[in-house]
């Protein structure tokens, strides 16, 4: 199960790397979204998957799922949600002002 999750996270992160390196603003934003998903999956997996066990309820539970990584991911999801919304607006405004979404043309020329 862990191996599968790690491979999935790896695939998601490699796809997002590809998207981050493309020239279109919107694809870069999708890359950011996918990257955060991949990272969240990785956190969940790295903390150890305990399929079928509940989070810690009593002190004498024999097997339990560590609730901390889920709390961490929740925080990270909220942050990445806010940041994604901001990047979408920023990308849209950049597109409107510059009349292009090609990052090659947004390179700028040295001193301005």
Partner 1 sequence: MNNIVVLLPVLIPFVAGVILIFFKNFSTIQRTISGLAAFILLFSSVFLTYHVYQDGILTLEAGNWSAPFGIIFVADLFAGLMTILSGIVGVACLFFAYKTIHKDREKFYFYPFYFFLLTGVNGAFLTGDIFNLFVFFEVMLISSYILIVMGGTKYQLRESFKYVVINIFASALFLIALAFLYSLTGTLNFAHLAQRIAEAEQTGVFNVVAILLLIVFAMKAALFPLYFWLPNSYYGPPTAIAAIFGGLLTKVGVYAIFRVFTLVFIHNIDFTHSVILFLAGATMFVGILGAVAKFDFRHILSYQIISHVGYMIMGLALFTPYAIAGAIFYIAHDMIVKTSLFLYAGVTQKITGTTDLTKMGGLLRTYPLLGWLFFISAIALAGIPPLSGFFGKFAMIVAGLDQGQYIIVFISLLVGLLTLYSMIRIFIYVFWGEPKIENDKDNPVKIMPLLLPIIPLAALTIAMGVFAEPIFSFSMEIAEQLLDPSQYIESVFKE
Q: Which residues would be at the binding site for partner 1 (CB under 8 A)?
A: 20, 25, 28, 32, 35-36, 39-40, 42-43, 46-48, 68-69, 72, 75-76, 79, 82-83, 86-87, 90-91, 93-94, 97-98, 106, 108, 111-112
Residue nearer to partner 1 on the CB measure, 53 or 75: 75
Question: At which residue do the structure tokens 């990052």 appear?
Answer: 103
Closest distance between partner 1 and the C-beta of residue 7, in Å? 15
- Please, which residues have CB within 8 angstroms of residue 16's CB and are 6 or more apart in sequence? 30, 31, 32, 33, 34, 35, 38
Query: From CA 50, how far away is CA 44, in angstroms rounded?
Result: 10
Question: At which residue do the structure tokens 């950049």 appear?
Answer: 94
Query: What radius of gyration do the chain's Cα atoms show?
Result: 19
Closest distance between partner 1 and the C-beta of residue 76, in Å? 6
Residue nearer to partner 1 on the CB measure, 40 or 65: 40
């Amino acid at each position: 199960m862990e191996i599968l999750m790690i491979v999935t996270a790896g695939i998601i992160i490699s796809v997002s790397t590809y998207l981050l390196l493309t020239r279109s603003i919107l694809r870069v934003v999708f890359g950011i979204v996918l990257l955060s998903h991949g990272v969240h999956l990785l956190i969940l997996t790295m903390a150890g998957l305990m399929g079928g066990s509940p989070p810690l309820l009593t002190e004498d539970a024999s097997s339990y799922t560590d609730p901390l990584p889920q709390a961490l991911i929740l925080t990270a999801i909220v942050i990445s949600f806010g940041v994604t919304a901001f990047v979408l607006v920023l990308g849209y405004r950049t597109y409107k002002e510059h009349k292009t979404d090609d990052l090659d043309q947004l390179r700028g020329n040295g001193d301005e």
